[in-house]
Amino acid sequence: MNKQIIIEDLGFKDYKDTWDYQETLFKEILDIKIKNRREDAGLETPNYFLFVEHPHVYTLGKSGDMSNLLLDEKQLEEKGATFYKINRGGDITYHGPGQIVGYPILDLDNFFTDIHKYLRFLEEVIILTLKEYGLDATRSEGETGVWLDVGTPFARKICAMGVRASRWVTMHGFALNVNANLGYFDNIIPCGIRGKAVTSLNVELGVKEVDEAEVKEKLLNHFKTLFEAEFVTATV
């Protein structure tokens, strides 16, 4: 079991280019697993964790409803945003500047083969990170992601999640609003859930901007602990 995870920060990168890159890494791991099964090759599968920030983009999961996008093609263009139907679970969400997106591309055979546990661990990484900023974030029953003030009229989502898994290999991941422009969420019914607000860490803390590098460091620390992993930085 290889618990080493290669960390790569892609910086500011187009959604489609990043998706293609994820697919390349995902296929690499799958190909090794297939070779191991067919030939008993005994090859070690790698694990990756990508950080990225996307230009304005809306993505719709495979079970999502197009009616949850409230813009037509012309309006998308006017807002400088793109739209993609993608192969993760979940409905519609927004990615953009000021949002930390994390894509763990893991072979869960190296950790544990339980997709529900995997999702709960991803949520826990976010919950523990926000706790360090004095926020009491929680899960909302039946709704993937991380929320504040669940069970009150002021419930609001701070982190969206959606993953894909095949042969216990994962891709896609989480999107944590840190310094996000929340106005872009007004153009969708986020995650297909009506009547629930969306928030960002800087809004909750009442500051203009939160140090994103610091948030990433905290996220990785909690990820490392929960997954009992070892991190290495990708070499360019």
60-83 tens-digit pLDDT: 888 788 888 998 889 999 999 999
**Per-residue pLDDT tens over the stretch 6-47:** 999 999 999 999 999 999 999 999 999 999 999 998 999 999
Q: Which of 88-92, 119-123, 201-205 comes out lowest in average pLDDT?
A: 88-92
List active site positions: 191
Q: Which residues, including other chains, have CB under 8 Å from residue 196's CB and lie 6 or more apart? A: 155, 156, 157, 190
Contact 231, 220 (CB under 8 A): yes
Across the chain, which distance is largest between two alpha carbons, in Å?
57
Query: How many structural domains is the chain composed of?
Result: 1
Q: What is the mean pLDDT of the chain?
A: 93
Distance of CA 40 to CAs 9, 35, 37, 112, Å?
34, 7, 5, 21
The pLDDT of residue 90 = 75
**84 marked among binding-site residues:** no
**Closest by Cα among 133, 215, 209 to 174:** 215
**Mean pLDDT, rounded, for 212-235:** 95
Has residue 192 got a pLDDT over 70?
no
The pLDDT of residue 61 = 85
Q: Which CATH number fits the domain that encloses residue 193?
A: 3.30.930.10
Has residue 169 got a pLDDT over 90?
yes
Contact 22, 15 (CB under 8 A): no
**1 marked among binding-site residues:** no
**Per-residue pLDDT tens over the stretch 88-119:** 877 888 999 999 999 999 999 999 999 999 99
**Closest by Cα among 166, 214, 219 to 229:** 219
**Closest by Cα among 47, 19, 49 to 32:** 47
Angstrom distance (rounded) from CA 146 to CA 228: 22
The pLDDT of residue 143 = 82
Angstrom distance (rounded) from CA 45 to CA 43: 6
Kindly state the tokens that stand for 47: 């694990």
State percent of the chain over pLDDT 70.
97
Range of the domain at 101: 4-233
Kindly state the tokens that stand for 202: 């800087």
Has residue 194 got a pLDDT over 80?
no
**Mean pLDDT, rounded, for 41-64:** 93
Q: Whole-structure pTM over 0.75, yes or no?
A: yes
The pLDDT of residue 188 = 84
**90 marked among binding-site residues:** yes
CB atoms within 10 A of CB 144: 19
**175 marked among binding-site residues:** yes
**Closest by Cα among 101, 60, 51, 111 to 81:** 60
* Ramachandran area for residue 168 (φ above 0: left; ψ -120 to 50: alpha; else beta): left
